[in-house]
Amino acid sequence: MAIEAYRVLKPFQWRGWEFAPKSKSAGRPKANYAGDIWLVEAGHPRKVTMLENRFAVGDASIPAIDELMKQSQFKRLISMPATP
């Protein structure tokens, strides 16, 4: 499964995680807050809709997926949803 990374522009929930820009992250429960980088499967059917509605955009400043996956905060996002 190929994973892609996008910068979050508007708050949204995905697979039990809450994504939001850093400027809008205050007050969100830390347990479910995923951050401002959205990781999504390349062929996910809802990905196009999310990008078209500007919930997230491509950002060249985001490190490569291999680099992101070395960090525990990103490993948890693809391992299992936050809610049972």
In a domain, 35, yes or no: yes
> Number of structural domains, the chain?
1
Query: Confidence class of residue 84 from pLDDT cuts 50, 70 and 90?
Result: very low
Residue closest to 11 by CA, chosen among 3, 23, 52, 40: 23
In a domain, 22, yes or no: no
Sequence length of the chain is 84
In a domain, 83, yes or no: no
Model confidence, pTM: 0.86
pLDDT in tens, 17-27: 999 998 887 77
Distance (Å, whole) CA 82 – CA 76: 9
For residue 81, pLDDT beyond 60: no
- Structural domain containing residue 58: 3-14+27-76
Question: 58 in the Ramachandran plot: left (φ > 0), alpha (ψ -120 to 50) or beta?
Answer: beta
In a domain, 38, yes or no: yes
